[in-house]
């Protein structure tokens, strides 16, 4: 016993060392609950302030390209508005009595700035300068003018951390435009410009350059948001599924202004899901 005590007092720094290694291993291996806590991520107020300062300087660098993107997107939307207006007028002539259902209010956008962003890590995250007090909640979708950016993971009062689409933990349900076949979009960790659309049924027809859009099956993203275009077919002839290499439309190295999508129906949908789960469990009992 005396020897043991002596051994411990003599070598206690090494015990501390082992404790630290185990702590960091735990942080590495399980993403929660340590990683989920706001204090240990970039969503905490100190690192958010630092990043805000840095980004206020570096934001100017990509301003020209972003402006061009915005102009292009604006032109596209304007054309769409004109087209839709014409269509609505035509329908109104045909069916003068029908009232149009107010469905558009389901989604609301919260505009925010990216203050920190990484594309070189195996797991990438983005920090934005809007948080709980601005109405940002976990599991909200995030888009920019070009396409999908990611999903809110942790929120602080004035900042939030987003799982980037360039993160293998982020799985997005997507489909080919003009087709109902859907698959899962996952980043394979190689290039920030490409991701893989997996588990598509073999019979799906596609051509290079076809547009990939979201399915809207979850409450995170509305249906039809552009994700990317088909670059090539990835070889996987093993089973009845195929994978596509998708060129992402979002330029992750130049993110600056993004929009967080707030879905008014989200709580309702969640409640419904929980209710049905409870009912199922009740039946089992």
- Report the interface residues with other proteins, using CB under 8 A: 12-14, 16-17, 20-21, 23-28, 31, 34-35, 39-42, 44, 47, 50-51, 54, 117-118, 120-123, 125, 127, 161, 168, 189
CB of 70 to other proteins, least distance (A): 23
For residue 277, give every residue at least 6 positions away whose Cβ sits within 8 Å of its Cβ, in sequence order, or none.
none
Nearer to other proteins, 120 or 203 (CB): 120
Q: How far is the CB of 230 from other proteins (least distance, A)?
A: 24
Supply the minimum distance, in Å, between the C-beta of residue 16 and other proteins. Answer: 5
Cis peptide before 33 (omega within 30 of 0): yes
C-alpha–C-alpha distance, residues 246 and 267, integer Å: 32
Q: How far is the CB of 169 from other proteins (least distance, A)?
A: 10
Q: Which two tokens stand for residue 252?
A: 């992750």
Nearer Cβ to other proteins (115/143): 115
Q: Nearer to other proteins by C-beta: 126 or 261? A: 126
d(CA 149, CA 252): 8
Q: How far is the CB of 168 from other proteins (least distance, A)?
A: 7
- Cβ distance to other proteins smaller for residue 79 or 190: 190
* Torsion sign (Cα): 168, 173, 179, 181: positive
160-164 and 148-155 as β-strands: parallel, antiparallel, unpaired? antiparallel
Q: Which is nearer to other proteins, 144 or 153 (CB)?
A: 153
Token representation of residue 166: 């360039």
Identity of the residue, 161 or 266, whose beta carbon is nearer to other proteins in the bound complex: 161
Nearest approach, Cβ of residue 261 and other proteins (Å): 22
């Amino acid at each position: 016993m005396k020897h043991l005590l002596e051994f411990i007092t003599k070598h206690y720094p090494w015990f501390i060392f082992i404790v630290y290694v185990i702590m960091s291993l735990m942080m590495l291996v399980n993403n929660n609950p340590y990683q989920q806590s706001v204090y240990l991520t970039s969503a905490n107020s100190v690192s958010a302030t630092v990043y805000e300062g840095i980004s206020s300087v570096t934001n100017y660098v990509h301003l020209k390209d972003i402006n061009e993107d915005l102009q292009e997107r604006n032109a596209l939307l304007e054309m769409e508005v004109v087209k839709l207006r014409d269509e609505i007028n035509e329908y109104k002539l045909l069916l003068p009595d029908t009232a149009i259902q107010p469905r558009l209010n389901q989604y609301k956008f919260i505009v925010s700035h990216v203050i920190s962003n990484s594309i070189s890590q195996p797991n990438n995250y983005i920090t934005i300068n809007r948080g709980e007090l601005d109405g940002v909640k976990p599991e909200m979708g995030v888009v920019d003018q070009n396409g999908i950016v990611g999903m809110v993971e942790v929120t602080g009062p004035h900042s939030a951390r987003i799982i980037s689409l360039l993160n293998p933990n982020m799985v997005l349900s997507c489909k080919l435009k003009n087709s109902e076949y859907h698959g899962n979009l996952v980043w394979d960790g190689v290039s920030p410009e490409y991701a893989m659309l997996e588990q598509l049924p073999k019979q799906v027809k596609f051509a290079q350059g076809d547009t990939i859009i979201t399915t809207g099956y979850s409450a995170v993203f509305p249906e039809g948001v552009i994700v990317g275009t088909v670059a090539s077919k990835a070889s996987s002839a093993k089973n009845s599924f195929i994978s596509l290499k998708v060129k992402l439309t979002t330029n992750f190295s130049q993110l600056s202004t993004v929009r967080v999508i707030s879905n008014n129906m989200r709580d309702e949908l969640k409640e419904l899901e929980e209710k049905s789960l409870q009912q199922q469990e009740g039946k089992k009992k």
